[in-house]
Structure 1
Amino acid sequence: MDGVHDLGGVNGFGAVELESNEPVFHEDWEPIGYALIFVGAADLNAFTIDELRHAIERMEPRHYLTSTYYERIVTGVAALFVEKGYVTHEELERRAGGRFPLARPVTPGEPAREPSISFAPGETVQVRKDHFRGHSRMPKYVRGKRGVVLHQAPRFPYASAAGHGIEAKHEPTYHVKFDAKDLWSDAAENSTVVVDLWESYLEKV
């Protein structure tokens, strides 16, 4: 969906701060929070990883921007457990001892394109210009832009459907190379960006 999480190529957030020898986890609760992904997606088969991504996208913008990586995961998983009926919001807040914000309501999904349109390595393609209320793995900074297909990757469930728990057609993703100057006017000369995009996000030129 088009939200605050889609920060690729966005200015105004300052430099990325790097932590030397950064550990995987900073707090004792973080590995437990991360393990909830495997409990929900693998053990219970309650949701897909794309549904989790969409739940995180649906966080209230100020909550999203002020949360850490693992806080977003816990919020997304908790929201899905409530939506799928495994726990109530009231029970979460009782166990947390206070307010427990969840993701906002789920938005509509999008089925994959029918019929399929395949692309060959070396072919110039254009990314769709559409804006999404639902889950999308198509960054805003490449929409409407032209690039060249480098490689066709194996088939995966179409994310814009899988993110909503609806039947997701398996279709290939493509590694598409863009001239960075076509994406950002101040990009370095002779630089390129490669983005992995589902077949349904691409159009013939």
Structure 2
Amino acid sequence: MDGFHDLGGVQGFGKVAHAIDTDSYKPVFHEDWEHLAYGLMFLGAAHLGKFSIDEVRHAVERIEFRQHAGTRYYERYVIASATLLVECGVITQEELDAALGAHFQLASPARSGGRPAITGRAPFEVGDRVVVRDEHVAGHIRAPGYVRGRQGVVLHRTTEKWPFPDAIGHGDTSAVHQPTYHVQFEVKDLWGDAADDGFVVVDLFESYLDKAPAGQAAGAPARPSRQPVAA
């Protein structure tokens, strides 16, 4: 689904504040409470086995736009985990409200049942030119909006396979396992000639990709065939 969480390539937000620590990756968390938010997610996913990490990601996507804009990264995972724990019957809305002393706003209900992976195709190989399927789905999807319909080159295919996010993100434990591909895109093919020279590498599941049509220019988006997907 497309929402506030997927802002890659969107203009008007100014420079992104960031810091690079060349000595260490620590501290992982910037505030003391953040590790508790992270732990809550794995309490539900691993210890209790009530949901998957992809379902947590989908719940983050379901957070109402204004609430999403007014919260920080780990706050969203508290909201998402709490939402799933309520939906799974581990805790109630009333218990959350009582603990908070006010109404705890959960994420919106899911509006999609997800979709299965594409199967029966030969895997892509390193060096293949591929195009990202230009799909807009109502449910969870892990293909960033800014690469959909764009062509890139496969740099790597993982040996490990994982459940297709669009299925497991909706609780489908029978989701087909697929490899992911490191696909390299030219920056100008994504954002036009006003962009700087360079490349962007995106990790994409197999079902998000097709072989690029022979003879089609790299920068030409495959948008005329766009079809909304009822997921």
Please classify the TM superposition score into its range, dividing by the shorter chain length: over 0.9
Match of 1:45 in 2: 49
Rounded to whole Å, the distance in 2 between the matches of 1:48 and 1:121 is: 30
Cα offset, 1:194, TM superposition:
0.7
Rounded to whole Å, the distance in 2 between the matches of 1:33 and 1:93 is: 18
Rounded to whole Å, the distance in 2 between the matches of 1:26 and 1:192 is: 30
- Do the aligned residues in 2 keep the contact of 1:30 with 1:70 (CA within 8 Å)? yes
Match of 1:140 in 2: 145
What root-mean-square deviation, in Å, do the aligned CA atoms of Structure 1 and Structure 2 show?
A: 1.6
Deviations along 1:40-64, one digit per CA (max 9) or x if unpaired, are: 1110011111000000010001111
- Do the aligned residues in 2 keep the contact of 1:117 with 1:199 (CA within 8 Å)? no
Partner of residue 122 from structure 1, selected from 114, 127, 145? 127
Match of 2:59 in 1: 55
Rounded to whole Å, the distance in 2 between the matches of 1:89 and 1:38 is: 20
Cα offset, 1:181, TM superposition:
0.5
Rounded to whole Å, the distance in 2 between the matches of 1:18 and 1:141 is: 21
Match of 2:155 in 1: 150
Match of 2:201 in 1: 194
SS of residue matched to 2:136 = coil
Rounded to whole Å, the distance in 2 between the matches of 1:182 and 1:174 is: 19
- Residues 1:148 and 1:82: Cα distance change in structure 2 (over 3 Å): same
SS of residue matched to 1:32 = helix
Aligned residues: 204
Cα offset, 1:171, TM superposition:
0.7
The aligned amino acid for 1:36 is L
- Residues 1:178 and 1:105: Cα distance change in structure 2 (over 3 Å): same
Cα offset, 1:177, TM superposition:
0.7
SS of residue matched to 2:42 = helix
- Residues 1:157 and 1:20: Cα distance change in structure 2 (over 3 Å): closer
1:22-171 alignment, distance < 5 Å: 23-108=27-112, 109-153=114-158, 154-166=160-172, 167-171=174-178
Match of 1:184 in 2: 191
SS of residue matched to 2:154 = strand
TM-score, normalising length from structure 2? 0.84
Cα offset, 1:107, TM superposition:
2.8
Rounded to whole Å, the distance in 2 between the matches of 1:20 and 1:195 is: 21
Rounded to whole Å, the distance in 2 between the matches of 1:53 and 1:192 is: 27
Cα offset, 1:20, TM superposition:
8.1
Cα offset, 1:90, TM superposition:
1.2
